[in-house]
Structure formats: structure tokens, C-alpha cells
């Protein structure tokens, strides 16, 4: 199997007392499609902002 193009392990992000992302882990291989679905305020935009370097994760890699 080829190396993943994206691998997240236990990514968490807080804004004060608000836990925006809690221990998110995923592996994405070339050719796979990923959709982030969830209610308003679920942390989708925060996760994308971490991926693009706009925010730093508080934990994980």
C-alpha cells in the first residue's frame, strides 16, 4: 500500500473552554475522497483551518 497523502492522529483544538475538535484521527490515501459533514459548530471549519495552517492544534499530529 502506498504512503497516505494525509494522516491525522488525535488532533484536538480548544478555544478557551470550548472544545472545537476532540482527538480526530484519519488517514487519506491518494484517490480517496473525503467529505466533512456535521451540524453548525461541529468543528469542520476549525479542522480545515488546522490543515491549512491557520490554527495550530493543541494536541496530536
Could you tell me the pLDDT band of residue 1, with boundaries at 50, 70 and 90? Answer: low
Could you tell me which residues are beta bridge partners of residue 11?
24
Mean pLDDT for all residues in the chain: 95
Quote the pLDDT of residue 6.
94
Question: CB-based burial of residue 46 (10 Å sphere; 0-12 exposed, 13-18 middle, 19+ buried)?
Answer: buried
Residue with cell 488546522: 50
Q: Is 33 helix (H, G, I), strand (E, B) or coil?
A: coil
Quote the pLDDT of residue 30.
94
> Could you tell me if 20 and 46 are in contact, meaning their C-beta atoms sit under 8 angstroms apart?
yes
Question: What is the spatial distance between Cα 31 and Cα 46, in angstroms, rounded to a whole number?
Answer: 24
Tell me the per-residue pLDDT of 29-49, one tens digit each, with 9 for 90 and over: 999 999 999 999 999 999 999
Amino acid at each position: 500500500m502506498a504512503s497516505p497523502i494525509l494522516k491525522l492522529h488525535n488532533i484536538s483544538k480548544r478555544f478557551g473552554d470550548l472544545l472545537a475538535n476532540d482527538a480526530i484521527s484519519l488517514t487519506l490515501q491518494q484517490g480517496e475522497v473525503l467529505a466533512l459533514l456535521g451540524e453548525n459548530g461541529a468543528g469542520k471549519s476549525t479542522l480545515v483551518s488546522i490543515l491549512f495552517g491557520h490554527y495550530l492544534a493543541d494536541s496530536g499530529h
